């Protein structure tokens, strides 16, 4: 049974060097153990060796029996930079990802990062990543400096993704109103999930998923609250004309086609997502190596699911292999 960890994050050393050397909108310092600290509103990331040392990370995967990881960048993303810097950083990250994939011979695959604050450049970078670097798609953040993913400035990107049949993986970033979430780590604990839920709902209600049907959408953290709230979205479709203005079908008709990773280590929550979208739309994920992530919990959760062996094999890796064309 091949195990593919679909949700995890990697900071290429060249990107960390670029942040340090500037210019950059991101503040970087170093902790007592020599780990870079990346600060942004409401949160910060401690770049432990697993974030930045690919050989160290490869050994961790071997130790846990994980065959492949789909690496992505993580917060704060390149879109917080000036347009010129965002373009440079995105290309740098994607080239570094491609080098890792090529040098590690199947241990890693990658989804591109995009300079989302420059939509026209994002189109070109997605096309380069898919056609030249052989990636299956890209990770999007749930909002772009406060602008929702349903905004029509991003529709040329979706048109390109639709033509490519690309995977677009939505990952949360700090939500509007982050100032209310700066204590108790509420931004990553609550705000992230809310922002992913909001982004998915907007993608559907705006007509993006209807208009661009060849895009293969995936959602981090089990879609936030989507499997739990989907019935309420359908009630909105029935009750409010605004919710029917851009789509001919109830929201769940679209959302059940999305993919959901297992970065919610409550087995009952995963069972709810399976009941909603089907076992063939669930992807094992660990959120490694963030403080809140865990490869052991990913493995334990999926192994404990009351599903058929074929479904378990799909969740562990078969679904990702099909989705990414591995």
Q: Which pLDDT score, from 0 to 100, does residue 177 have?
A: 79
Q: Which pLDDT score, from 0 to 100, does residue 309 have?
A: 97
Q: Which pLDDT score, from 0 to 100, does residue 183 have?
A: 87
Q: Could you tell me where the beta strands, DSSP code E, fall in the chain?
A: 4-9, 27-30, 36-40, 43-46, 68-72, 108-110, 137-141, 143-144, 147-148, 167-171, 216-219, 259-261, 282-283
Give 110-149 pLDDT, tens digit per residue.
999 999 999 999 999 999 999 999 999 999 999 999 999 9
Give 253-265 pLDDT, tens digit per residue.
999 999 999 999 9
Q: Which pLDDT score, from 0 to 100, does residue 1 have?
A: 87
Distance between CA atoms of residues 116 and 157, nearest Å: 9
Distance between CA atoms of residues 33 and 3, nearest Å: 32
Confidence of residue 6 (pLDDT cuts 50, 70, 90): very high
Q: CA 296, 300, 301, 306: dihedral to nearest 10 degrees?
A: 170
Confidence of residue 181 (pLDDT cuts 50, 70, 90): confident
- Domains in the chain (CATH in brackets) are 4-10+51-324 (3.20.20.140)
Answer yes or no: is pLDDT of 315 > 70.
yes
- Mean pLDDT, to the nearest integer, of 9-28? 95
One DSSP character per residue, 278-316 reads: -GGGEE----BTSTT--HHHHHHHHHTS-S-HHHHHIII
Average pLDDT, the chain: 96
Give 33-91 pLDDT, tens digit per residue.
999 999 876 678 999 999 999 999 999 999 999 999 999 999 999 999 999 999 999 99
Q: Is the dihedral of CA 45, 264, 178, 121 positive or negative?
A: positive
Distance between CA atoms of residues 190 and 276, nearest Å: 22
């Amino acid at each position: 049974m091949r195990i593919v960890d679909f949700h995890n994050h990697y900071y290429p050393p060249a990107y960390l060097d670029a942040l340090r050397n500037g210019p950059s909108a991101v503040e970087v310092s170093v902790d007592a153990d020599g780990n870079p600290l990346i600060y942004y509103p409401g949160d910060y990331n401690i770049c432990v060796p697993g974030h930045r040392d690919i050989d160290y990370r490869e050994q961790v995967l071997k130790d846990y029996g994980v065959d492949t990881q789909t690496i992505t960048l993580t917060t704060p993303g390149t879109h917080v930079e000036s347009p010129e810097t965002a373009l440079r950083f995105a290309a740098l990250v994607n080239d570094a990802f491609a080098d890792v994939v090529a040098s590690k011979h199947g241990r890693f695959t990658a989804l591109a990062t995009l300079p989302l604050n420059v939509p026209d450049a994002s189109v070109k970078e997605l096309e380069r990543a898919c056609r030249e670097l052989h990636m299956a798609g890209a990770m999007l953040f749930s909002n772009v400096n406060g602008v929702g993913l349903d905004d029509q400035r991003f529709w040329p990107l979706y048109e390109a993704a639709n033509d490519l049949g690309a995977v677009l993986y939505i990952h949360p970033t700090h939500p509007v109103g982050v100032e209310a979430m700066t204590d108790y780590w509420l931004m990553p604990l609550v705000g992230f999930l809310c922002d992913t839920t909001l982004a998915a709902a907007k993608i559907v209600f705006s007509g993006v998923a209807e208009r661009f049907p060849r895009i293969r959408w995936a959602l981090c953290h089990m879609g936030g609250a989507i499997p739990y709230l989907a019935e309420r979205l359908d009630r909105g479709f029935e009750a409010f004309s605004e919710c029917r203005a851009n789509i001919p079908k109830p929201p769940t008709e679209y959302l059940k086609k999305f993919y959901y990773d297992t970065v919610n280590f409550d087995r009952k929550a995963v069972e709810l997502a399976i009941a909603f979208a089907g076992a063939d739309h669930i992807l094992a994920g660990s959120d490694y190596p963030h403080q809140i992530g865990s490869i052991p919990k990913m493995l334990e959760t999926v192994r404990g699911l009351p599903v058929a062996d074929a479904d378990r094999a799909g969740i562990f890796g078969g679904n990702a292999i099909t989705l990414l064309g591995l």
